[in-house]
Amino acid sequence: MADFPPGVVITDQIATAVAKYLSAHQFSMLGVLVDDNTFKYCYPLIQESLPQHFIIEIASGETHKNLQTCQQIWNEMTHQHMDRGSILINLGGGVIGDMGGFCAAIFKRGIRFVNIPTTLLAQVDASVGGKLGIDFQDYKNHLGVFQHPERVLISTLFLNTLPFNELRSGFAEVLKHALISDAEYWHKIIQADWQSQDWAQHVEHSVEIKSGVVKQDPQESGLRKILNFGHTVGHAIEKEYLSTANPFLHGEAIAIGMICEAYLSHRKTTLGKEHLMAITQQILKWFGNTSLDPSLVSPIAQNTLQDKKNTNGKIKCSLLEGIGQATFDIEVTLEEVKEALEYYQEQAV
Ligand SMILES: NC(=O)c1ccc[n+]([C@@H]2O[C@H](COP(=O)([O-])OP(=O)(O)OC[C@H]3O[C@@H](n4cnc5c(N)ncnc54)[C@H](O)[C@@H]3O)[C@@H](O)[C@H]2O)c1
Ligand SMILES: [Zn+2]
């Protein structure tokens, strides 16, 4: 059972870890927040280690990460008479972690919460950094707060029931962490085929990288921005496809975003051509040659003008100076973003 950074436990004995945490802490009441899938697939893995508790079940999916669902959660917490001595366990992916944490942080000015992330994405990314929140109107994570869970208990056992596309979505963030800060790890990942990926090791590595970065810049005023590599274009793609019949999962959009931003890195910084080619080929190998609908390329480029990292109307990207080395606040033009998207289209055939 590794405990790093403080508060994050990675274990293959999840039931024991939950029991250990709960027996070491006093609380007046225990609530467990799940969605329909995590109730079915994940709750049975910890059920035996839970003392008396009640369950709050919400519908799964990003479309439910909103105020209406928060109201459902707060209603139930109120109905159960949860007081400030209570604990909420958030058992699920990033949606449950972000929204359950947000609900706990607001309820009666804050009750304790423990996150048990059950998707690879939530384990390698949302598990660290203390960002909580929900979507509002058309804006992702528009309402939220920074607050850390009392404990994050991670087990890759949960990944056994995760659909392939969800696992691959989290894998994009694993690749990102290697690309921005660990060339050796990148080479290790790309040498293994899909079947031999070591998920436990990837989770440990990602948690280590992300927590190292967050520790140096908790409020994202500088260095933390490197975690956004692939996300300026990735978010723009995600947003444009959201209302189509085939929306991208977050990691799938970020994978394409990383290819585009590797192109921008080559164009604007010191990333060599051979590295651009290697990144492109590897990502296409894992994620497939999914070309973008040509009619959406221009709106996608326009979306990057709305990115949260922009200042004074300028598009600011986090880019690679080399494999394993990232930089941030690099200004790119709308034309360059379009060029990067065209580059992706040429490669993904
Ligand atoms: N707070 C942060 O720093 C941070 C970082 C990255 C992403 N996020 C947020 O995380 C969310 C995306 O997270 P996600 O991809 O985990 O989405 P998610 O929570 O919607 O989970 C994806 C799907 O997998 C199902 N599921 C979860 N665990 C399962 C399991 N073990 N077996 C079978 N099915 C399971 C869920 O029910 C859901 O249908 C986004 O809202 C994003 O904004 C937050
Ligand atoms: Zn991401």
CATH of the domain at 92: 3.40.50.1970
**What pLDDT, on the 0 to 100 scale, is given for residue 139?**
80
What's the total number of domains in the chain?
2
Average pLDDT, the chain: 95
Of 101, 126, 160, which residue constitutes the final position of a domain?
Answer: 160
Return the ligand number nearest the Cα of 120: 1
CA 92 to CA 47: how far, in whole Å? 14
Helices (H), the chain: 14-24, 36-41, 43-46, 67-79, 94-106, 120-121, 164-181, 183-191, 199-216, 231-241, 250-268, 273-287, 294-303, 334-347
Range of the domain at 17: 2-160
Of 95, 176, 206, 217, the residue with max ligand 1 atoms within 8 A of its CB, to mutate for a pocket test, comes to 95
Same domain, 316 and 339: yes
Contacts of 142 (CB under 8 A, 6+ apart): 133, 134, 135, 136
pLDDT value at 138 more than 90: no
Asked which of 121, 145, 160 is the last residue of a domain, the reply is 160
Q: Are residues 91 and 175 in the same domain?
A: no
Band (122; pLDDT cuts 50, 70, 90): very high
Judge if 75 and 144 occupy the same domain: yes
Give pLDDT tens digits for 6-29. Answer: 689 999 999 999 999 999 999 999
Distance CA 94, CA 160 (A): 17
Q: How far apart are CA 263 and CA 272, in angstroms?
A: 10
Same domain, 176 and 146: no
Q: Of the residues 32, 121, 155, which should be mutated to test ligand 1's pocket, given the most ligand atoms within 8 Å of the CB?
A: 121
Q: Are residues 175 and 84 located together in one domain of the fold?
A: no
CATH number at residue 251: 1.20.1090.10
Give the C-alpha separation, 207 to 117, whole Å. 12
Ligand 2 midpoint to CA 38 (Å): 21
Q: Do 221 and 128 fall within a single domain?
A: no
Amino acid 5: pLDDT: 66
Residues 209 and 257 in one domain: yes
pLDDT confidence band for 308 (50 / 70 / 90)? confident
pLDDT of residue 218: 87
Residue of 41, 98, 229 to test ligand 1 pocket, by largest number of atoms within 8 Å of CB: 98
> Which residue has the CA at smallest separation from atom 7 of ligand 1?
126
**302 and 221 inside one domain:** yes
- Out of 139, 160, 181, pick the residue that ends a domain: 160
The verdict on 219 and 183 lying in the same domain is yes
Residues in the chain: 349
Tens-digit pLDDT profile for residues 74-96: 999 999 999 999 999 999 999 99
Task: Report the C-alpha gap between 78 and 320 in whole angstroms.
Answer: 48
Mean pLDDT, rounded, for 164-173: 98
Q: Compute the distance from residue 251 Cα to the ligand 2 centre, in Å.
A: 6
Are 22 and 150 members of one domain? yes
Phi-psi region of 92 (alpha: psi -120 to 50; beta: other; left: phi over 0): left
Q: 189-235: per-residue pLDDT in tens?
A: 999 999 999 999 999 999 999 999 999 998 888 999 999 999 999 99
**Same domain for 238 and 111:** no
- The closest-lying atom of ligand 1 relative to the alpha carbon of residue 60 is 37
* Residue 52, Ramachandran bin (φ over 0: left; ψ between -120 and 50: alpha; else beta): beta
Model confidence pLDDT, tens digit, residues 313-347: 899 999 999 999 999 999 999 999 999 999 999 99
Clarify whether residues 137 and 195 are in a common domain: no
Residue 98 pLDDT exceeds 80: yes
